[in-house]
Structure 1
Amino acid sequence: MDIILALKAIIMGLVEGFTEFLPISSTGHLILAGSLINFTGETAKVFDIAIQAGAILAVIWEFRVRIGAALAGLASDRRQQKFALNIVVAFLPAAVLGVLFSKWIKAKLFAPVPVAAAFIIGALVILWAERRHRVLPGSHRVENVDDMSVLDALKIGCAQAFALIPGTSRSGATIIGGMLFGLSRKAATEFSFFLAIPTLLGATVYSVYKERAALSAADVPLFAVGGIAAFVSAFLCVRWLLRYISSHDFTAFAWYRIVFGIVILTTAHFGWVIWAE
């Protein structure tokens, strides 16, 4: 692996880590960054998904005490059993629909107009949800992830399934969905982090397994460099986001999404970026 390729892997890892847990769609940013630095091709597509593992390890490390308590209490602690059940229930809708429709989604929705539309529509949903939150400040009934019901988890899992549409944002769908379904901003954000663990790890394993014929041992250093960059940037992003939501809403991200949607249409129109799988 030469120095230029290593730098490209680091850049892509940083983009993944800084965007994965914000409601702005990491997929769209990875496509743009990959095109700008000429990091494309079949291996690059698998790379973009595989380095999610680095971002997820950052979440696992940040919440290691909570995750450790959940694992230790699976056999006897009803609170931890309920928490684990909620994660499994929320994970299933996107997992099942992703396996069933991934080929169709890649064939039909990885195009400039659908991706830009997802960015802009998602922005409008965020603006609406935040306005609703301001007008009805007492609308949330779930202050903590441990207070969630299985039905709450299922609803958020269905919201996460919308993130199969390129440009939607998995974190945006789960956080805003959670807020609309009655979770506090803090509870929705934390549950989005926990739900990301099986979702992104599952997507990583599934993608690497499917594309294993296109990979070789020579790709391991590249993936390792990208994964480390994703871990570091995601760790910083998670810490920052947890502080941010204590005193801010997500309106700024909505306006950013609108601008990014316009960027997608502009770059596609002039042929600067190939918005396709």
Structure 2
Amino acid sequence: MNYFEAVILAIIEGITEYLPVSSTGHLIIASSFFHIAEDSFTKLFTIVIQFGAILAVLALYFKRFFQSVDFYLKLVVAFIPAVILGLLFNNVIDELLESPIIVAVSLILGGIILLKVDDWFKENEDLSREKKEQTTVSYATALKIGFFQCLAMIPGTSRSGATIIGGMSQKLNRKTAAEFSFFLAVPTMFGATTKKLFDYYRDGFTLNTEQINFLIIGNIVAFIVAMFAIKSFINYLSKSGFKLFGYYRIVLGIAIICIHFFIYRLTL
């Protein structure tokens, strides 16, 4: 990895982490393009720079994180399913992260779902306009959203997409569901970052000065870009829904499959 690649990956993380397009999928594609996808440090880097994206949520919603103990308890409840399944299937998840085809198929299937989501949950938005929508998240709703988050363990699925749809399935409107998804990202990504760093050192790897610089720069870039991405996404989602993201995912997924098989044929 060099500084240019680090900055590009961080920009991709900042843009895609909170959009329903799969940040992991985009990072796998980009790192594969740079021929660094299988490098141990690259895998660490793409997880650790999520910390910058976490800080963007904390900065934008600072007051919300001091509203009540109940707020944190609901995040813990929503976080539990990912912790359990993540520990049980950690090795399987790591193997899936190296497959562009799995990413492509997940992007396409997720895109098809996003094309239908606005119609499926139109009633939520109608209630929102009438000021009768559900704007608070119960413990039961938090747990169900947590199970939806587990779908994002499949590369290309999109953590934000899965959790937002999970929230909307529980009668939350798009804005409320998206904001809870952002809040849930904080313990989820912090946990993933901590575990990845632990695994990296447990396996005998150490960070040199240049790699530490990559991580610092990556987190700063991801933080700045994520700040703009979150604001833009909330505004767009509230007004226009998911269809644009659905089309984007489908086109990108098809493109990845075509490129993969074209390259495969060239190597025969």
TM-score, with length taken from structure 1 = 0.87
Deviates more, 1:257-266 or 1:183-192: 257-266
Unaligned runs of 5+ in 2: none
> Structure 2: which amino acid aligns with 1:29?
H
1:168-223 Cα deviation digits (max 9, x unpaired): 00000001111122111111000000000000010001001101232323221111
Give runs of aligned pairs for residues 155-166 of structure 1, distance below 5 A: 155-166=144-155
Shift of 1:119: 1.1
Change (3 A) 1:51 1:136: closer
2:195 maps to 206
Alpha-carbon offset, residue 26 of structure 1: 0.5
Unmatched tracts of structure 1, length 5 or more: 71-79, 273-277
Deviations 1:91-117, CA, capped at 9 Å, x for gaps: 110111011102123335742432222
Alignment-derived partner of residue 148 in structure 1: 137
Q: CA offset at residue 22 of structure 1?
A: 0.2
Aligned to 1:83: 71
State the number of aligned residues: 257
8 Å contact from structure 1 (residues 129, 180) kept in 2: no
Aligned to 1:185: 174
Are residues 116 and 139 of structure 1, via their aligned partners in 2, closer, same or farther at CA, if it must alter by over 3 Å?
A: farther
Distance 2:7 2:105 in 1: 29
**Aligned-partner Cα distance in 1 for 2:76–2:124:** 30
Mapped to 2, the partners of 1:39 and 1:222 lie a distance apart of 14
**Contact 2:9–2:46 at 8 Å: present in 1 too?**
yes
The answer to whether the aligner puts 1:57 opposite 2:49 as a matched pair is: no
> Residues 257 and 20 (structure 1 numbering): CA distance in 2 closer, same or farther, change over 3 Å?
same
Q: Does 1:21 align with 2:9?
A: no
Distance in 2, matches of 1:199 and 1:108, equals 19
Q: Quick check: 1:17–1:55 contact (8 Å CA) kept in 2? A: yes
**1:1-277 paired onto structure 2 within 5 Å:** 5-40=2-37, 41-67=39-65, 69-70=66-67, 80-107=68-95, 110-134=98-122, 137-138=125-126, 142-144=133-135, 147-212=136-201, 213-218=204-209, 219-271=211-263
Q: If the length of structure 2 is used for normalisation, what is the TM-score?
A: 0.90
Cα shift readout 1:49-88 (whole Å, capped 9, x = no counterpart): 0100011111111111111x23xxxxxxxxx232211111
- Which deviates further from its counterpart, 148-157 or 128-137? 128-137
Q: What RMSD, in angstroms, separates the aligned Cα atoms of the two structures? A: 1.9
- Report the residue type matching 2:58 in the other structure: I
Please give the secondary structure, in 1, of the residue aligned with 2:164: helix
- In the alignment, the residues of structure 2 paired with residue 122 and residue 233 of structure 1 have an alpha-carbon distance, to the nearest angstrom, of 24
In 2, the alpha carbon distance for the partners of 1:38 and 1:176 equals 34
Whole-Å Cα distance in 2 between the matches of residues 164 and 192 of structure 1?
15
Q: Which runs of 4+ in 1 moved over 6 A?
A: none
Percent of aligned pairs with the same residue?
41
**Inter-partner Cα distance in structure 2 for 1:229 and 1:38:** 22
